[in-house]
Amino acid sequence: MKSDNKEETAYKTIGEAAKELNLIDKKTGQLQTHTIRYWETQFKQIKPKVRAGGRRYYSNENIKIINHIKFLLKERGLTINGVKKMLDKKKIDSIDVKENFGVYKPDDKSARLVKDKVKNISKIIKELKKLKNG
């Protein structure tokens, strides 16, 4: 008797991949397969097998890459261009999810400028509060 679950090594359809990646519209319950198709156009790392009739089949490696892209976009808040740069720099297996991604390096000149501006803005806010209460 055939099991409902495919083997771990089997290719999955785009619908199965969307379900596994939890790409589901919360309001309608519809699978967001369009999101995967769009990401395919943006990230060269996603390479599904395309069979007759244009049906896409995703390997576990494809799903791992898509899941990582989803994490970087949705959880980390990176832009598509930011994720592209990261994936071009590093192999997917070597990326540590706790990594800072170089957004604010302590020795980075722009980070110091931002910190200084935040301090100045904080001082201005405190002065304005004093004037208002004062």
Task: Tell how strand 49-50 and strand 56-58 pair up.
Answer: antiparallel
Tens digits of residue pLDDT in 18-73: 999 999 999 999 999 999 999 999 999 999 999 988 899 999 999 999 999 999 99
- pLDDT confidence band for 110 (50 / 70 / 90): low
Question: Which CATH architecture best describes the domain 1-98?
Answer: Orthogonal Bundle (1.10)
First to last CA, the chain: 81
Please give the order of strands across the beta sheet that includes 49-50.
Answer: 12-13, 56-58, 49-50
The residue extents of the domains of the chain are 1-98, 104-134
Tens digits of residue pLDDT in 67-104: 999 999 999 999 999 999 888 876 544 544 444 444 44
Q: What is the DSSP string of 22-73?
A: T-B-TTT--B-HHHHHHHHHH-TT---EE-GGG-EEE-HHHHHHHHHHHIII
Query: Which of 24, 19, 101, 17 has the alpha carbon at shortest distance from 64?
Result: 17
Q: Say how far apart CA 78 and CA 99 lie, in whole Å.
A: 13
Note the Cα 129 to chain centre separation in Å: 40
